[in-house]
Structure 1
Amino acid sequence: MTQAVFAQQNSTAKDLDWKLGVQAYTFKNFTFTEALEKIKSIDLNYVEAFPGQTIGNGIEGTMHYEMEANTRQQVKQLLESKGIELVAYGVVSGKNEQDWRNLFEFAKEMGVKVINSEPAQEDLDLVNKLAGEYGVTVGLHNHPKPSTYWHPDTVLEAMKGRENIRACADVGHWIRSGMNPVENLKKLEGHIASVHFKDLNENSSEAHDVPWGTGISDVQAMVNELKRQDFEGVISVEYEHNWDSSLPEIEKSVNYFKRISE
């Protein structure tokens, strides 16, 4: 075994600059402020916000990309006070060119690195152009079939000739669509901007989240594949079960992930 191969196989999440955080939809029954507090309580420093969550902490409005300038400033201060970085935003799509531009302006101002989205296919050229203009990557997200981007082949086709569009790999939704997440990660190698990470209780469209390492998703194999690819990007916990009391399960998941990715 060569030294280079040995080093690659022994890369750690820290070496690869993985940004493990939480998709705030995990805590959709709480305010954004409460979500940040929960995220910080399990020693994570990154969040993916979604449009519609009440902000809280005395700040009016929701985490929508059309929030006013003073609200954006208050949210920035809130994030700074909690020691959490807003690295991704989604899943969200614009309705027309001006709406898309508003979304990208928000992302750039807030320091968002990746907009996770499911744009209409006729909007892909526009989205790619704006992503380049604003310096923000777009990740095509795969809700389960029959959604537009449920299959990685469709995602790969949509990315052709569009250098600012990549994939947001939702590994749980692949299982719900009857596919193998490790094989799909391989298929998208070099094109993944962000990951919605999950472990599910069964191979079915009705499967739900369970603590990572206790389900059927082969978490170790997914981590190994991301390491093999030298993936560097955003990994969001998206836990959609036990909505009001999921934090202990998420903490178990995070601890397991950190242990097997070292």
Structure 2
Amino acid sequence: MCGTMAIGSRSLLGTGLLAEEVAGSGQALEKRGWKLACQLYTFRRFPFYEAIEKIAALGIKAVEPCFFLPLDARQPGLVTSEALPPDKRAEMRQKMAQLGITMPNFYANLGNDQDQARKVFSFAKEMGCQTVVAEPPADSLPMLDELLAEYGLTLAIHNHPQSPSSHYWHPKNVLGAVEKRSHRIGACADTGHWVRSGLDPVACLKLLEGRIITLHLKDVAECGVVGSRDVPLGTGAAHYDRVLEELARQNFRGVMTIEYEHDSPQLLEDVAKCRDFVINWAVQHA
């Protein structure tokens, strides 16, 4: 069960931080080893080159692209994936570098095809990634584990809400898939999708302790409702104070990716509120 929502942190910094103010408060995040990123799906109505400008304006210096989202409005048909030709990969790296944006994670499509997996991992490595986020079939993991060692990458298994096609919706299923695999394979914990599935995100994090590689930070309005809309962190049913407390208890160190799926004219403001919640919590608990 999702449980009772905890009262959100009192805001020290507000929700209108400027990029330089976010950077100035970064010591509290760095002390915990937390690196904030933004999932490209958050800004899916914008092509990558426009989206990263918005992400940089928020003072967030890392992005997790999606394999199916467009690269550039002036170059139709190109997506942020291993399908990009070498010159467009170089262009993508240049655009990120100009904004001071890194790409520590890449949300990819992985299956049992070893040649295709090599293409994905080669692209991820070329773009400076440490982690590929995906939902591969469990029987592909022995093959992927070997490739991860070869490429020096990690694989974080992502969870979507409970459905017939979502094998990893419950953390026990993720644990079952990775228990015989190396620690190069672990979890991308999507807290909001757990709440949509009627699960307590703190209990889920406890189950996955030692196997959490990265996270999709997400809060939603209602527990147990698959279609429940995203809300700013700390204002929904995920009791996000407790989520961050548990991550701190586990001494989690890594990329924490804000993913905000509810698109609206207030999207930038909503993402800023998510950003500020994490920073405020880290400052208060420094």
Q: Say which SS state the counterpart of residue 186 (structure 2) adopts.
A: strand
1:200 to 191, 197, 220: 220
Determine whether 1:221 maps to 2:238: no
Determine whether 1:180 maps to 2:200: yes
Alpha carbons of structure 1 residues 66 and 259: separation in structure 2 relative to 1, 3 Å? same
| Equivalent residue, structure 1, for 2:103 | 86
Determine whether 1:27 maps to 2:43: yes
Letter in 2 for 1:37: E
Distance in 1 between residues matched to 2:192 and 2:44, nearest whole Å? 18
Alpha carbons of structure 1 residues 53 and 150: separation in structure 2 relative to 1, 3 Å? same
Task: Between the two structures, name the one with larger relative contact order (CA 8 Å, sep ≥ 6).
Answer: 2
- Checking the alignment, whether the CA contact within 8 Å between 1:199 and 1:210 is kept in structure 2 is yes
| Equivalent residue, structure 2, for 1:133 | 150
Shift of residue 206, structure 1, vs aligned partner: 1.9
Q: TM-score, normalised by structure 2?
A: 0.84
- Checking the alignment, whether the CA contact within 8 Å between 1:21 and 1:48 is kept in structure 2 is yes
Matches within 5 A, 1:30-109: 30-56=46-72, 61-94=78-111, 96-109=113-126
Shift of residue 62, structure 1, vs aligned partner: 1.5
- Checking the alignment, whether the CA contact within 8 Å between 2:196 and 2:226 is kept in structure 1 is yes
1:14 to 9, 30, 49: 30
Aligned residues: 252
How many percent of aligned residue pairs carry the same amino acid?
37
- Checking the alignment, whether the CA contact within 8 Å between 1:94 and 1:103 is kept in structure 2 is no
Shift of residue 64, structure 1, vs aligned partner: 1.6
| Equivalent residue, structure 2, for 1:210 | 231
Root mean square deviation of aligned Cα: 1.6
1:117 to 123, 131, 134: 134
| Equivalent residue, structure 2, for 1:4 | none
- 1:29-82 deviations in Å (ceiling 9; x for gaps): 101011101111111101000012221275662102121111111111011001
Matches within 5 A, 1:143-182: 143-146=160-163, 147-163=166-182, 164-182=184-202
Determine whether 1:256 maps to 2:272: no
Letter in 2 for 1:113: Q
The more displaced of 13-22 and 190-199 is: 13-22
Distance in 1 between residues matched to 2:269 and 2:170, nearest whole Å? 32
| Equivalent residue, structure 1, for 2:263 | 242
- Checking the alignment, whether the CA contact within 8 Å between 1:89 and 1:114 is kept in structure 2 is yes
- Checking the alignment, whether the CA contact within 8 Å between 1:26 and 1:243 is kept in structure 2 is no
- 1:109-151 deviations in Å (ceiling 9; x for gaps): 1111111111112111111111111011000111111311111
- Checking the alignment, whether the CA contact within 8 Å between 1:23 and 1:48 is kept in structure 2 is yes
Shift of residue 103, structure 1, vs aligned partner: 0.5
Shift of residue 245, structure 1, vs aligned partner: 4.0
Distance in 2 between residues matched to 1:196 and 1:91, nearest whole Å? 14
Letter in 2 for 1:138: L
Q: Say which SS state the counterpart of residue 93 (structure 1) adopts.
A: coil
- 1:73-103 deviations in Å (ceiling 9; x for gaps): 1111011001100111115224511111110
Q: Say which SS state the counterpart of residue 115 (structure 1) adopts.
A: strand
Q: Say which SS state the counterpart of residue 232 (structure 2) adopts.
A: coil
Letter in 2 for 1:222: V
Q: TM-score, normalised by structure 1?
A: 0.92
Letter in 1 for 2:206: K
The more displaced of 17-26 and 235-244 is: 235-244
Unpaired stretches in structure 2, ≥5 consecutive residues: 1-26
- Checking the alignment, whether the CA contact within 8 Å between 1:150 and 1:177 is kept in structure 2 is yes
